[in-house]
């Protein structure tokens, strides 16, 4: 077996390099603009994202089977629903930073399952 000057074989060095590359992909959430999410939601399916915007509440419509809900919205009205509603509700009207897992549900649209939500700038 070939060894380097420090007694470590090439296979060990290659394995260490792979671990470093893989660990690089395990960093924090990807920061994405709501406009990009609206334009190409398929690219972000299942991804952990960081989003910024204003929390807006919608009353819902019982007859149409649309529950009360909250969305994160940018100035151009690109939106993503925030779930669960109870975590978003205290922030209605505020600009926030939200981290969560994105998914698209046919019939419902874009939504973010909240991991954390906090006022922007903190």
In tens, the pLDDT along 79-96 reads 999 999 999 999 999 999
Mean pLDDT (whole number) for 98-104:
97
- Burial label for 63, CB within 10 Å (0-12, 13-18, 19+), is exposed
Do residues 49 and 29 touch, judged by C-beta distance below 8 A?
yes
- Strands 30-31 and 48-58 turn out to be parallel
Whether residue 112 is predicted with pLDDT greater than 70 in this model: the reply is yes
CA-CA distance, 44 to 32, in Å (whole number)? 9
CA-CA distance, 2 to 74, in Å (whole number)? 58
Position 16 in a domain: no
Higher pLDDT, 68 or 3: 68
Measure the N-to-C terminal CA separation of the chain; round to a whole number of Å: 53
Position 55 in a domain: yes
| The model scores a pTM over 0.95 | no
State how many domains the chain has: 1
| Helix and strand element counts for the chain (H, E) | 3, 6
Per-residue pLDDT tens digits for 14-62: 444 433 334 444 578 999 999 999 999 999 999 999 999 999 999 877 7
Position 3 in a domain: no
- Whichever domain contains 51, its CATH number is 2.40.50.140
Whether residue 9 is predicted with pLDDT greater than 60 in this model: the reply is no
């Amino acid at each position: 077996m070939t060894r380097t000057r420090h007694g470590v074989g090439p296979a060990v060095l290659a394995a260490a390099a792979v671990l470093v590359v893989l660990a690089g992909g395990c960093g924090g959430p990807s920061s994405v603009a709501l406009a990009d999410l609206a334009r190409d939601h398929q690219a972000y399916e299942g991804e952990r994202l960081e989003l910024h915007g204003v929390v807006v509440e919608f009353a819902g419509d019982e007859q149409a089977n649309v529950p009360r809900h909250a969305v994160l919205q940018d100035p151009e009205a690109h939106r993503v629903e925030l779930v669960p509603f109870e975590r978003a509700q205290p922030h209605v009207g505020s600009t926030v930073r939200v981290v969560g897992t994105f998914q698209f549900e046919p019939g419902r649209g874009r939504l973010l399952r909240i991991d954390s939500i906090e006022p922007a700038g903190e």
